[in-house]
Chains A and B, each alone.
Chain A
Amino acid sequence: MGKKLLIHNDKVQGIHTLEVYRAHGGYASVEKALKTMTPDQVTDEVKKSGLRGRGGAGFPTGLKWSFLAKPEGVPRYLVCNADESEPGTFKDRYLMEKIPHALVEGMITSSYALGANQSYIYIRGEYFYVARILEQAIREAYAAGWLGKNILGTNYSLELSVQVGGGAYICGEETALLESLEGKRGNPRIKPPFPAVAGLWGCPTVVNNVETIAAVCPIVNMGGEEYAKIGIGKSTGTKLISASGHINKPGVYEIELGVPVEEFIYSEEYCGGIRNGKKLKAVVAGGSSVPILPTELILKTAKGEPRLMTYESLSDGGFQTGTMLGSGGFIVMDEDTSIVKNLFTFSRFYRHESCGQCSPCREGTAWMEKILHKFLNGTANESDVDLLWDVQGKIEGKTICPLGEAAAWPVAAAIRHFKQEFIDIAKSKKFNDVSHYNRLNKIAK
């Protein structure tokens, strides 16, 4: 049983209330930070912990915090990115729904470290009911004096509120999120300047993912060095993994970074193996944007070493033979799955979610969906595989924000590892969706 720091109390009755959360040691990090540490000391502990952004990019959190500009007389902001929309990812929703105070506590401790007196949680609009749960937790925290003026009798004050979005994946990109928080279309900004210098309303701003902010609480409580002992190498601490697809036990699992992928898929503690006794075909390990890997490459690296659930091991071999930990959206596909059809759902998604600002992304995502549609209706030629490869290559690296890469990578990886599937469809002029047998009757309980 690995160590759990974030959702170890998720099954406790009433843990969503302040009273029960507090009885289980909640808000200890706020007490410790505000009463015994300076803001810079909190940042130092986060640096020492080796915590990396849990939203997908994996950028060191302490470093990001240290970039925050601190000009005199200008307000600074902490904004929590709860716009969880990466297909395959639902961990933040779980955390906020089950233990909302974990995020509120993390927001207070982190805001103190950054010197922010006004912070926002930007949550995707579809999670409206989760926003209600967070707002209730915030009301409780205000009533008990954890938020508002002079928290715990110190001279630190913090206002915290939730803002719901309007339904746009792109608002998970931090500058698009800030635009949206300002009441505008979610068009990503050109960088530099980075939000650390000019963010919300032009003021210095840090944007962090829900899980990242929640992880600050155990880091402050146990100390950065202790936290860094969990995990392997530069992959420190625990990570929430959203497991879905053709597995026996889909759900959110908190793992110590370093669990072997094979153990994660097959052990009863986690996914419990492939459903209906089928064989594993492929895995998308870190949300829809990261390269899909076939069984042999997801279980073992090209060097033949066991693949581990860490930032480094999953990316071992680069994109030729590796992938990324990303957001931890772990999608498992059985032997009957059509990789081409699954890719089509991804490409349709990116076409729908492109903000339309950059031509390579706006036009390219639409073309990729169209070409893939030709495969599904049996009109594709073998040359369309090359065309698809060409289009994805013309998006990558040519856009303001990483949505371009996010749309291109899954296409490139599907062709790289499953080219024969595309060619077979093109040759036979027929798409036989074997993956589309009646799943519903098979799983009806």
Chain B
Amino acid sequence: MSSQVHGAQHFDKAKRAEIKFSDAAMETVKTIISRYPEGKQKSALLPILHLAQAEFGGWLSPEVMDYVASVLKIRSVEVFEVASFYTMYNLKPVGKCVLEVCQTSSCWLNGAEDIVKYIEKKLNIKAGETTKDGMFTLKTAECLGSCGTAPMLQCGASFHENLTYEKVDSILEKYKSEGKQRNYTDLDYQNTL
């Protein structure tokens, strides 16, 4: 179960009225829904939440979840109960780049704790926090399936594996200079094996 604490976020009607998928995103939504039988469009919820998170600033506000519910013709609570269950959905604002450092067994055996400490020191934040400039959020994550290439961190769609301090330096520098929001749905992922 997601360990995110979701305090009551204020629902803003004015903000809600402004939320709308771009035409391109709406096309993707239609394609996703077409994969399921008639009347089973709720199945499209998880992929569409990923799309919404990428489209609307890297997190799912109550207004965005309400909008997704209207697109899928389901109740808002059905969206919220799903979004709050899965770890990949952010229910609070995050930095443009969310760094998720795997900390389970094989990664721990290979120095994941040192990687977390190194990033904490370098960015001057603790795991779970966001830098003041809104560029990075640091998180610890549970097994991401890179045990043979540990330690590793995920940022958006990219897996950065066999990490060393030097690699971490160059990853952070690259992301910072690009200044882009990184999403799971990105097409320009890269894997630095």
Binding site for B on A (CB under 8 A): 75, 84-90, 93, 118, 120, 124-129, 132, 159, 161, 163-169, 180-186, 201, 242-246, 250-252, 284, 288, 329, 331, 333, 337, 341-342, 345-346, 348-349, 352-356, 362, 435-436, 438-440, 443-445
Contacts and interface: CB of A to CB of B under 8 A. Distances in A.
Given A165-B86, A167-B86, A284 B105 contact: yes
B115 interface: yes
A329 B88 CA distance: 24
Contact of A443 (B86, B111, B147): B111
Contacts of B189: 128-129, 132
A443 B110 contact: yes
A401 to B, nearest CB: 14
15 contacts: A90-B146, A90-B147, A126-B184, A132-B157, A132-B189, A163-B43, A184-B42, A244-B147, A245-B109, A250-B149, A251-B148, A348-B142, A352-B87, A439-B114, A445-B164
A190 B188 CA distance: 41
A143 B47 CA distance: 24
A357 to B, nearest CB: 9
A181 to B, nearest CB: 6
B145 A126 contact: yes
B85 A168 contact: yes
B102 to A, nearest CB: 9
B159 to A, nearest CB: 7
B81 A181 contact: no
| Interface size band for B | 35 or more
Contact of B145 (A127, A168, A251): A127
Contact of B154 (A90, A126, A436): A126
Contacts of B78: 183-184
Nearest to A329: B147
B82 A331 contact: no
B105 A444 contact: no
Contact of B86 (A125, A132, A348): A125
Contacts of A159: 35
B136 to A, nearest CB: 19
- The list of the 3 closest CB pairs from A to B, nearest first, reads A166-B86, A183-B45, A439-B111
A181 B43 CA distance: 6
B158 interface: yes
Interface in B156-193: 157-159, 163-166, 184-185, 187, 189, 191
A107 B164 CA distance: 39
Nearest to A165: B46
B49 A182 contact: no
Contacts of A242: 147-148
Given A88-B147, A125-B50, A242-B148, A440 B43 contact: no
Given A166-B86, A245-B106, A337-B109, A331 B187 contact: no
B91 to A, nearest CB: 12
A356 B86 CA distance: 12
Contacts of B164: 440, 443-445
B143 interface: yes
B103 interface: yes
Nearest to B167: A444
B142 A169 contact: yes
Contacts of B76: none
Interface string B125-162: 00000000000000000111111111100100111000
Given A87-B106, A132-B187, A436 B148 contact: no
B55 interface: no
Contacts of A180: 46
